[in-house]
Structure 1
Amino acid sequence: MPAAALEANQVVLLVLDGLGWEQLQDRLALAPTLAALTGGPITSISPSTTATALTSIATGLTPGEHGVVGYRVAVDHEVLNVLRWTTPSGDARKRIDPRRFQPHAAFLNQRPCIVTKAEFATTGFSGAHLADVRHRGYRVSSTMLVELRDALAAGEPFIYAYYDGIDKVSHEYGLADHYDAELGYVDRLVADVLGLLPRDAALVITADHGQVDVGHNTIPLASDVVSHVSFQSGEGRFRWLHARPGRAEALREAVEACHGDTGWVRTRDQTIDEGWWGPSVTDASRQRFGDVALVAREPVSYIDDADTGPYELVGRHGSLTGAEMYVPLLVGEP
């Protein structure tokens, strides 16, 4: 961490969802403010997905410790969509208590000021990773600046801010013109945030993951694989396959034979032994894994008909490639 952040009396930590280091380096001319900041790349977590990474940022824990081990995780033979906090049965906030699902305190229980979208304050995911913080909600990015200004003026020593525009644009449009336009806008937003800082304050910028432009390169699971699968969790670039009873090894062999050319194939135990989740994995975390992980190595996504949204995702993340795992850690001063 650059000294400017460590020595500042006030720090704004701004998380720019979806801003990968490699994508930024390819477009520095579009982001002169970001390009001028001090810092470099750091490595995100596995899987490189928002729910897991934001929980690690808030708690300081690895996925194996905090247990938010993906965007869609297995809970009692159902799949919980962590960001929506729903299962196929509907709203899960009463059935799956967010605070029990992820019991560790956010930001060492210091209850910092959180500047994020107002509608996020009461979600199950916020209950899981941001319990007991003090929310200052904004509706649009212009009013995020107002909330940051007021929090700084109130003397808040640490402010956590979150902006999701880059991620939303890259999911829907990929890494072409729309992404470039959004990056340019975010760069101007960062310049505005820097302009709000008092003399002894610092801005720290990081992200949860980068992106891969997958386009239409979606792959259905081979029939030889499907015959061994009970259900799937995870996401398109990090699929957990849950085996039918007694078929875990047959499933691994089938996945390796059918999809090993485009992805890494690991058993649950292999991912743990190889340290994908950090040095320790709790029993609760382990129970949320599948039997076999299929993790995209190429720019592809693996289809699960149960994993749907309002539009087909063009940009995706979740895997362990450099494009997804390397994110910026940048520091700026007024």
Structure 2
Amino acid sequence: MPGCLLSSPGQRPAWFPQPLQAADRIVLLVIDGLGYEQLQRHAHLAPHVTAMVGGAITTIAPSTTASALTSLVTGSTPAEHGIVGYRMDMGDSIMNSLRWWSDTRDLRQIHPPATVQPIPPFAGMSIPVVSRAELEGTAFTEAHLRGSRPCGWRAASSIVAQCAQLIKAGEKFVYAYYDGIDKIAHERGFGPYYDAEITATDWLVGALLEALASGTTLAITADHGQVQVGNNVVHLSDDIKDLLHHQSGEGRFRWLHAKRGHQDDLVKAATDAYGDIAWIASREQIVEEAWLGPARGGQMSEQVKRRLGDVALVPFTDTTFDDPLDSGPFSLVCRHGSLTSDEMFIPFLAQTV
């Protein structure tokens, strides 16, 4: 997508929304967590967004922020860029890819972001990025946005002023990121808080359409959708734990790493135990079937392959797989990561003002 948006008008793919085909000034607003199916169900709360031209596209697997945002800005798949999930096995540690640490240890020196993820964003161009000010200088920002020009905001309303000023100053492409919907869905689930956030996000879109200079095209997309799992948490059985060395990934794309010599046993045990609630796949199946997308040269690198587990548990029901080491300050109500339509379908919409 970024390479296509940065290309000359008239050279963009036919599947791009019509307003983008001839656009020469573009603001791309990435709304974290806004799934297309959730947008359709809440259309009455988002009149500005739903009036835009376009439809649904498919995100990557796993449908998680670190992997999807990196794919969005590099135009590459997780199989290529190597950010294969929320928590990745780096050999010496399980690294949280958004925070770039393991437990309380910062891993930036041990695993340099530009080495872990080597593909330059935005086709190597220096693009203004309007995102939370506190994200500037973080390791994940270095991994997926290095070389860009940070234009940080501290209040969501500043996104409007910042984008409008950049376009007025002559920028042809602005990348903006807003994470309110994702935060509320995780913490509160669907309901009145989520509805209020959809309404607030629609205000943001409407304000952008009002503030941007005439002739500017506003495009909207997302990284993933959400499903509400609530208390539907699956704790691994003792039979599984007996074969297990450790876990990585996340609750809706959980990687199991087998004890030495027990890979096949773990695949069978997981299939027998959880095949009625989740897709169960071995590492070999994931690679051969390109679940994480195709790789250049047709082959996932050994370095990236080593970041995967032996068995993937990918729920198709509204459940999540527990890992006691994968926890935060509160229990997540909505989650993502799996391959269901609620998680995989995201909007790609545009309107020229």
Q: What's the TM-score bracket when you normalise by the shorter of the two chains?
A: over 0.9
Cα deviation, residue 258, structure 1: 1.0
Report the 3-state secondary structure (helix = DSSP H, G, I; strand = E; otherwise coil) of the residue aligned with 1:331. Answer: strand
Specify the alignment match of 2:6 in structure 1.
none
Residues 1:224 and 2:239 are matched in the alignment: yes
Cα deviation, residue 121, structure 1: 1.1
Cα deviation, residue 89, structure 1: 5.1
| Contact in 2 for aligned 1:40/1:330 (Cα 8 Å) | yes
Cα deviation, residue 119, structure 1: 0.8
Q: Distance in 2 between matches of 1:321 and 1:9?
A: 35
Residues 1:305 and 2:320 are matched in the alignment: no
Q: Distance in 1 between matches of 2:212 and 2:160?
A: 11
Q: Distance in 2 between matches of 1:292 and 1:113?
A: 40
Specify the alignment match of 1:326 in structure 2.
345
In the alignment, which of 95, 105, 114 is matched to residue 110 of structure 2? Answer: 95
Specify the alignment match of 1:27 in structure 2.
42
1:321 is aligned with what amino acid?
T
Cα deviation, residue 314, structure 1: 0.2
| Contact in 1 for aligned 2:228/2:318 (Cα 8 Å) | yes
Specify the alignment match of 2:164 in structure 1.
149
Q: Distance in 1 between matches of 2:190 and 2:92?
A: 36
Q: Distance in 2 between matches of 1:24 and 1:150?
A: 29
Residues 1:137 and 2:156 are matched in the alignment: no
Q: Distance in 1 between matches of 2:158 and 2:243?
A: 50
1:316 is aligned with what amino acid?
R
Please show how residues 245-256 of structure 1 align to structure 2 within 5 Å.
245-256=260-271
| Contact in 2 for aligned 1:13/1:161 (Cα 8 Å) | yes
Report the 3-state secondary structure (helix = DSSP H, G, I; strand = E; otherwise coil) of the residue aligned with 1:125. Answer: helix
Residues 1:290 and 2:305 are matched in the alignment: no
Cα deviation, residue 97, structure 1: 0.3
Q: Distance in 2 between matches of 1:5 and 1:279?
A: 26
Q: Distance in 1 between matches of 2:238 and 2:161?
A: 54
Q: Distance in 2 between matches of 1:226 and 1:261?
A: 19
Report the 3-state secondary structure (helix = DSSP H, G, I; strand = E; otherwise coil) of the residue aligned with 1:138. Answer: coil
Identity of aligned residues (%): 45
Specify the alignment match of 1:315 in structure 2.
334
Q: Distance in 2 between matches of 1:196 and 1:286?
A: 46
1:6 is aligned with what amino acid?
Q
Specify the alignment match of 1:62 in structure 2.
77
Please show how residues 239-250 of structure 1 align to structure 2 within 5 Å.
239-250=254-265
Give CA-to-partner distance per residue, 1:103-134, whole Å, 9 cap, x none.
11000011111000011111110110111111
Residues 1:203 and 2:222 are matched in the alignment: no
1:213 is aligned with what amino acid?
Q
Q: Distance in 2 between matches of 1:260 and 1:131?
A: 41
Q: Distance in 2 between matches of 1:85 and 1:18?
A: 21
| Contact in 1 for aligned 2:35/2:225 (Cα 8 Å) | yes
2:331 is aligned with what amino acid?
E
CA RMSD of aligned residues (A): 0.9
Report the 3-state secondary structure (helix = DSSP H, G, I; strand = E; otherwise coil) of the residue aligned with 2:44. Answer: helix
In the alignment, which of 230, 237, 262 is matched to residue 277 of structure 2? Answer: 262
Q: Distance in 1 between matches of 2:310 and 2:67?
A: 19
Specify the alignment match of 2:55 in structure 1.
40
Specify the alignment match of 1:50 in structure 2.
65
Q: Give the TM-score of the pair, scaled to structure 2.
A: 0.93
1:306 is aligned with what amino acid?
L
Specify the alignment match of 1:8 in structure 2.
23
| Contact in 2 for aligned 1:78/1:88 (Cα 8 Å) | no
1:113 is aligned with what amino acid?
P
Q: Distance in 2 between matches of 1:250 and 1:78?
A: 24
Cα deviation, residue 2, structure 1: 2.1
Q: Which moved more, 1:86-95 or 1:188-197?
A: 86-95
Q: Distance in 2 between matches of 1:107 and 1:287?
A: 27
Aligned length, in residue pairs:
334
| Contact in 2 for aligned 1:204/1:332 (Cα 8 Å) | yes
In the alignment, which of 177, 182, 198 is matched to residue 162 of structure 1? Answer: 177
Q: Which moved more, 1:188-197 or 1:40-49?
A: 188-197
Q: Distance in 2 between matches of 1:129 and 1:256?
A: 35
Q: Which moved more, 1:176-185 or 1:272-281?
A: 272-281
| Contact in 2 for aligned 1:21/1:210 (Cα 8 Å) | yes
Give CA-to-partner distance per residue, 1:32-56, whole Å, 9 cap, x none.
1111000000000000000000000
1:62 is aligned with what amino acid?
T
Q: Give the TM-score of the pair, scaled to structure 1.
A: 0.98
Show structure 1 runs of 5+ residues with no match: none
Show structure 2 runs of 5+ residues with no match: 1-15
